[in-house]
Amino acid sequence: MPKAIGKDTGAPSNAAEFPTEIGQAGELHQTPPDGGQVLTTQQGVPVADDQNTLRVGPRGPALLEDFHFREKIFHFDHERIPERVVHARGYGAHGVFTLKESLADVTTARVLTEVGEETPMFVRFSTVAGNKGSFDLARDVRGFAAKFYTKEGNWDLVGNNIPVFFIQDAIKFPDLVHAAKPAPDREFPQAQTAHDNFWDFISLTPESMHMIMWVMSDRALPRGFRFMEGFGVHTFRLINAEGRSTFVKFHFKPRLGLQSVMWNEAMKINGADPDYHRRDLWDAIDLGNPPEWDLGVQLFDDAFAEQFEFDVLDPTKIIPEEQIPVRVIGSFVLNGRVDNFFAETEQVAFCTQNVVPGIGFSNDPLLQGRNFSYLDTQLKRLGGPNFTHIPINAPRCPVHNFQQDGHMAMRNPSGRANYEPNTWGGPRESPTAGYKPFAEQVAGDKTQRRPESFGDHYSQARQFFISQAPIEQKHIGDALVFELSKCERADIRQRMVAHLLNIDEALAKAVASGLGLKALPQPAPAGRPTRLDLPPSDALSIVKRITGSFEGRKLGILVTDGAPAALVAALTDQVKAMKAVYEIVAPRIAGAELDDGTMVEAKQKIDGGPSVLYDAVALVVSEMGAKTLAKDKTALDFVNDAFAHGKFIGHTAAATPLFKKVGIEQGDEAVILLDDAEDVAEFLEACGQLRRWDREIKNDLDAK
Ligand code: HDD
């Protein structure tokens, strides 16, 4: 992790002559009594009084002369920079990518050819629509942006957790984002798409239908960043030493598998812990369980592109893994927390244009537009053209050029020559090692026409839908009903159902019925070519691919005074052994006195640790404890929600009255009686299934 500005860049720099860290010039100041550092101004002047402004007499007016006060307030007044226009709320971590399989036959990019080589990385995850202070569990796409500090320069893969996008042409991006964000007059709703403007735009934009299926699916409610896939979305190019190009799509696959939460849970998590995702990542790294992803590629050539049903330049389409398997070539681990959120996570600047020799762009019109937008936006956000000098953005390889000056320049050419060619010496271009774009033959009219090959907006939307497990299909329907029910205009709701009729009739009917539509509308005009019946792809489902392991998950253990100590010990020991984590929840934060007289400390008081924060729960309570909990609404919510959200519940016999109290019938296989360590082992093994979705289906049937 670079700490000092300009270090190790090899840049023609004079920065090294100056101390780069506060206090580096030597501790000349007398140390304060507690032995710590002396507080100084930005100029390094020691401060005697940081509690009171300089004034005329203790009750008199302040004096302008107080340079420490003025500097301190001036700096504070300017602490904020503009938040990102999209993806404002994000969270980052450092990591390392290790290549396991060389792609030397198709690319010269060293990061993809040197097996075993470790490349430092920084990854930032984000929601899209919400502002910087919004909550983590918005129903939204998640950004998954990766910066690889390669030996040949920085390579940024600015992806999402969904492999397609809403629009096909970058010119529509401002419209999409304006529609998704709060309406300009009222500035609400925050961090959600459940409003007229969004669905107005979407229902008038058929190309968004595939993405809409993904965004209404459980993918938009991830359990954590650690449980998300990442996708480069566009088709990129790899270019080899002979100048030959191979198309590529990039995939990140989480080692812990995919997992999502339910919408009802998401809404409650947002209240209980709006920082749920960032805390989860922070804690995982902190506890020594850093998350890992495999990096995979789908490689294909022009011949495949020619015969593929869709245009590989269309970012609203995937290439199913059944057609081109994802080849895993390496993996990365995110094992480094940031030292300072602002310096690293806020100031990191990703640009899709950041590629290295051997990696190139396709003509995807969304990608081409992005290549302008990202550089442009950093100027606004970071205040000048020198944002590459900020340590988090600075390459970790030599940087030599004649670009100079500008706001906050940390790296300037030294010596006399600041132009090229010159006779004084200095960096020169390298026709052999330098970046060369793929020499694609292009000819055509200047036109603003959308290609016909981009014209089918429903086939892959349907393919996604039919690939889902029944519970996932139900969630898509529920999400659409929820979102569209927030639209005041009936014509917008109707227009969406008209699109759904082109995707799946049962889905359209379920949504129409959920919205209370009296009659089905005519299907939306389908465009050309009309819909293809594509086979389902299991890779598109989350539920069909669960790993069956509780590793990396979190158990909430609700304990009361008098609870069996042996059971608490069995749970905590076995959870740790399976690389999962637990939290003790108790009626009081001081914890509970167990039946052997020992105290177990609580992490959460019960109203601060609702069961929505856990993947499974255990109710380890005494008879007395259960009696007290039965009178506590939050404790009953804990049990009721855990059940309603399909969670596995372990419990002592003494907890049984709590189930009765909330109306839970006996006989549910995922409500497991815990008596000894063996039961605990069976319970935790079962927890690997994560959810009992049949409960939700039964609940719905009962409600009808
Ligand atoms: Fe974008 C940020 C991902 C289309 C313009 N985008 C941004 C971030 C991610 C993505 C992950 C946050 C980066 C970070 O953490 O700092 N964007 C995507 C994906 C897209 C996409 C996967 C489609 C495949 N974006 C897109 C288009 C445009 C932009 C079509 C404009 C024409 N995106 C931006 C931006 C942002 C941005 C305005 C805001 C902050 C930033 O760039 O650094 O330039």
Q: Give, in order, the Cα–Cα distances in Å from 176 to each of 129, 181, 182, 372.
A: 10, 9, 12, 17
For this structure, is 393 an active site residue?
Answer: no
DSSP letters of 303-345? HHHHHSSS-TT-TT----TTTSPPEEEEEEEEEE--S-HIIII
Output the CA 141–ligand 1 centroid distance in Å.
12
**Which residues are within 8 A (CB) of 235 and not within 5 positions of it... i.e. 6 or more apart?**
247, 248, 249, 312, 313, 362, 364
Query: Which CATH number fits the domain that encloses residue 527?
Result: 1.20.1370.20
Picking from 396, 545, 542, the residue whose alpha carbon sits closest to that of residue 97 is 396
| Amino acid 32: pLDDT | 74
**Pocket of ligand 1 contains residue 326 by CB under 6 Å:** no
Q: Give, in order, the Cα–Cα distances in Å from 377 to each of 251, 374, 380, 387, 449.
A: 26, 5, 5, 11, 27
392 pLDDT band, cuts 50/70/90, is very high
- Calpha distance 155→111 (Å, rounded): 9
Q: Which ranges of 11-112 does DSSP label H, i.e. alpha helix? A: 67-77
Q: Which atom of ligand 1 is nearest to the CA of 88?
A: 40
Same domain assignment for residues 471 and 618: no
Query: Which CATH number fits the domain that encloses residue 103?
Result: 2.40.180.10
The one catalytic residue among 160, 161, 412, 640: 160
Q: Which of 512, 543, 574 is the last residue of a domain?
A: 543
Binding site members: 84, 124, 173, 370, 374, 381
Same domain assignment for residues 353 and 474: no
- Please confirm whether the linkage preceding 521 is cis (ω < 30° from 0): no
Same domain assignment for residues 578 and 526: no
Same domain assignment for residues 334 and 353: yes
Burial of residue 98 (CB within 10 Å: 0-12, 13-18, 19+) is middle
| Amino acid 585: pLDDT | 98
**Pocket of ligand 1 contains residue 170 by CB under 6 Å:** yes
| Amino acid 30: pLDDT | 67
| Residue 5 clears pLDDT 60, i.e. is over it | no
| Torsion angle of C-alpha atoms 85, 202, 258, 331, degrees rounded to 10 | -50
Same domain assignment for residues 598 and 520: no
Q: Which of 485, 515, 543 is the last residue of a domain?
A: 543
- Calpha distance 212→317 (Å, rounded): 12
- Calpha distance 6→549 (Å, rounded): 45
* 229-263 per-position pLDDT tens digit: 999 999 999 999 999 999 999 999 999 999 999 99
Same domain assignment for residues 159 and 187: yes
Q: Which of 91, 374, 388 to mutate to test the pocket of ligand 1 (most atoms within 8 A of CB)?
A: 374
Output the CA 143–ligand 1 centroid distance in Å.
8
| Residue 563 clears pLDDT 70, i.e. is over it | yes
Range 80-102 average pLDDT: 98
Same domain assignment for residues 365 and 484: no
User: Atom 27 in ligand 1: which residue has the minimum CA distance?
Assistant: 370
**Pocket of ligand 1 contains residue 164 by CB under 6 Å:** no
Picking from 541, 403, 551, the residue whose alpha carbon sits closest to that of residue 470 is 541
Range 566-594 average pLDDT: 98
3-class secondary structure, 490: helix
Output the CA 86–ligand 1 centroid distance in Å.
7
| Amino acid 539: pLDDT | 97
Total domains present in the chain = 3
| Amino acid 26: pLDDT | 53
Query: Which CATH number fits the domain that encloses residue 567?
Result: 3.40.50.880
Same domain assignment for residues 483 and 565: no
| Amino acid 476: pLDDT | 98
| Residue 643 clears pLDDT 90, i.e. is over it | yes
| Amino acid 526: pLDDT | 80
Picking from 608, 687, 693, the residue whose alpha carbon sits closest to that of residue 644 is 693
**Which residues are within 8 A (CB) of 255 and not within 5 positions of it... i.e. 6 or more apart?**
291, 292, 293, 294, 331
Same domain assignment for residues 208 and 291: yes
| Amino acid 472: pLDDT | 98
**Pocket of ligand 1 contains residue 686 by CB under 6 Å:** no
Q: Is residue 157 part of a domain?
A: yes
Q: Which of 543, 562, 587 is the last residue of a domain?
A: 543
| Residue 627 clears pLDDT 90, i.e. is over it | yes
| Residue 22 clears pLDDT 60, i.e. is over it | no
For this structure, is 160 an active site residue?
Answer: yes
Least confident range of 29-38, 46-55, 327-336, 433-442:
29-38
Q: Which of 89, 177, 350 to mutate to test the pocket of ligand 1 (most atoms within 8 A of CB)?
A: 350
Phi-psi region of 493 (alpha: psi -120 to 50; beta: other; left: phi over 0): alpha
Same domain assignment for residues 468 and 581: no
Q: Is residue 79 part of a domain?
A: no
Q: Give, in order, the Cα–Cα distances in Å from 177 to each of 87, 192, 454, 487, 546.
A: 11, 12, 21, 17, 33
Q: Is residue 46 part of a domain?
A: no
Phi, psi of 246 (to 5 degrees): -125, 135
Picking from 692, 672, 668, the residue whose alpha carbon sits closest to that of residue 680 is 672
| Amino acid 351: pLDDT | 98
Please give the helix or strand (H or E) that residue 97 lies within, else none. strand 90-99
* 398-434 per-position pLDDT tens digit: 999 999 999 999 988 888 999 999 999 999 999 999 9
529 pLDDT band, cuts 50/70/90, is low
Same domain assignment for residues 520 and 557: no
3-class secondary structure, 389: helix
Q: Which atom of ligand 1 is nearest to the CA of 234?
A: 24
Q: Is residue 463 part of a domain?
A: yes
Q: Is residue 1 part of a domain?
A: no
Q: Is residue 9 part of a domain?
A: no
**Which residues are within 8 A (CB) of 272 and not within 5 positions of it... i.e. 6 or more apart?**
608, 609, 610, 612, 613
**Pocket of ligand 1 contains residue 541 by CB under 6 Å:** no
Decide: 385 and 379 in contact? Cβ < 8 Å. Answer: yes
20 pLDDT band, cuts 50/70/90, is very low
Q: Is residue 262 part of a domain?
A: yes
| Residue 58 clears pLDDT 50, i.e. is over it | yes
Decide: 362 and 234 in contact? Cβ < 8 Å. Answer: yes
DSSP letters of 423-478? SS------TTTS--------------PPPGGG---SHHHHHHHHHS-HHHHHHHHH
Q: Is residue 3 part of a domain?
A: no
Phi, psi of 248 (to 5 degrees): -145, 145
Q: Give, in order, the Cα–Cα distances in Å from 339 to each of 120, 319, 336, 343, 393.
A: 16, 39, 9, 8, 15
- Please confirm whether the linkage preceding 529 is cis (ω < 30° from 0): yes
Mean per-residue pLDDT over the chain, rounded: 94
Range 478-504 average pLDDT: 98
- Calpha distance 287→307 (Å, rounded): 49
Same domain assignment for residues 561 and 539: no
Residue 361 pairs with which residues in a beta bridge?
236
Least confident range of 38-52, 155-169, 445-459, 688-702:
688-702
Picking from 519, 534, 383, the residue whose alpha carbon sits closest to that of residue 456 is 534
Q: Which domain holds residue 312?
A: 90-389
